[in-house]
């Protein structure tokens, strides 16, 4: 059984997917973290992404691995655990840009499909239901208004003791939506057979319960 959850940045996909996986005893696969791993490599090595051929050559030898330690997904970049660096805004913004490149997507496609073949997974991303796992038994398109998504991200940052401007966060979210939805390769869109869930006025537990109900149909 595979569950595909797609949706825009900040819709709560990872929280929901993680919890759903835990309740069902499945593996949670955060594909955004894989794109962030590649983005980190591009940033750390100052690679200009405007030249797709150059990027393709540079990332060819890069090894992205996914491991599970105490039930938590860890991303290894060329043998180093980089998980703690992946949530930075700069890495997310680069991931949104570099994930539009076909060579970046091609590099991660087999890894994602293989995981779904080997395990029961809850996999979240942008093109899981439409492209990576078109035969997933359950597909969900999870979204929320940009205001609600910005508020959630803002609260997370403040809880860490950092400062932020909620308007800048919302503007970033809107830019990211546009990039993810308007790119040519595997744009973010709802699969025809996906169930649409707007979580703006739902609790985490309500969304998880809705998805678990879908697995029993
Ligand atoms: O879900 P996230 O914010 O960690 O993802 C970071 C970026 O990676 C996102 O802006 C788009 C890209 N991404 C993608 O193109 N396809 C996926 N399956 C997952 C993420």
Nearest atom, ligand 1, residue 36 CA: 6
Question: So what's the pLDDT on residue 33?
Answer: 96
Q: How far is the CA of 27 from the centre of ligand 1 (A)?
A: 18
DSSP string, 120-187: -EEEEESSIIIII-TT-SEEEEEE--HHHHHHHHHHHHHHTT----HHHHHHHHHHHHHHHHH-SSS-
Domains and CATH numbers, the chain: 2-215 (3.40.50.300)
Q: Alpha-carbon distance 79 to 129, whole Å?
A: 30
Q: How far is the CA of 98 from the centre of ligand 1 (A)?
A: 10
Q: Which residue has the tokens 């991931």?
A: 95
Q: pTM here?
A: 0.92
What proportions of the chain, in percent to the nearest 5, are helix, strand and coil? 50, 20, 30
Question: So what's the pLDDT on residue 72?
Answer: 87
3-state secondary structure of 72: strand
- Which residue minimizes the CA distance to atom 15 of ligand 1? 99
Q: How far is the CA of 19 from the centre of ligand 1 (A)?
A: 19
- Which residue minimizes the CA distance to atom 18 of ligand 1? 125
Question: So what's the pLDDT on residue 217?
Answer: 80
Instruction: Per residue of the chain (217 residues), give pLDDT as tens.
Output: 999 999 998 899 999 999 999 999 999 999 999 999 999 999 999 999 999 999 999 999 999 999 999 888 999 999 999 999 999 989 999 999 999 999 999 999 999 999 999 999 999 999 999 999 999 999 999 999 999 999 999 999 999 999 999 999 999 999 999 999 999 999 999 999 999 999 999 999 999 999 999 999 8
Question: So what's the pLDDT on residue 71?
Answer: 81
Going 42 to 79 to 110 to 217, the CA torsion angle's sign is negative
End-to-end CA gap in the chain = 13
- Which residue minimizes the CA distance to atom 20 of ligand 1? 32
């Amino acid at each position: 059984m595979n569950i595909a959850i797609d949706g825009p940045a900040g819709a709560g996909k990872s929280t929901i997917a993680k919890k759903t996986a835990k309740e069902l005893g499945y593996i949670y696969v955060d594909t955004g973290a894989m794109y962030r791993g590649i983005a980190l490599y591009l940033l750390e090595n100052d690679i200009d992404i405007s030249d797709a051929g150059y990027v393709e050559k540079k990332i060819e030898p890069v090894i992205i691995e996914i491991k599970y330690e105490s039930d938590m997904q860890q991303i290894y970049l060329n043998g180093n655990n980089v998980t703690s660096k992946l949530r930075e805004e700069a890495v997310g913004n680069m991931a949104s840009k570099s994930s539009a490149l076909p060579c970046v997507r091609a590099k991660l496609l087999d890894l994602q499909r293989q995981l779904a073949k080997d395990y029961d997974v809850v996999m979240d991303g942008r093109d899981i239901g439409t492209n990576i796992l078109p035969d997933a038994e359950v597909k969900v398109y999870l979204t929320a208004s940009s205001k609600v998504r910005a508020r959630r991200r803002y609260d997370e940052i403040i809880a860490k003791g950092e400062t932020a401007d909620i308007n800048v966060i919302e503007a970033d979210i809107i830019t990211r939506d546009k990039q993810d939805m308007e790119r040519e390769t595997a744009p973010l869109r709802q699969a025809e057979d996906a169930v649409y869930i707007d979580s703006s006025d739902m609790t985490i537990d309500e969304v998880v319960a809705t998805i678990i109900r879908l697995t029993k149909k």
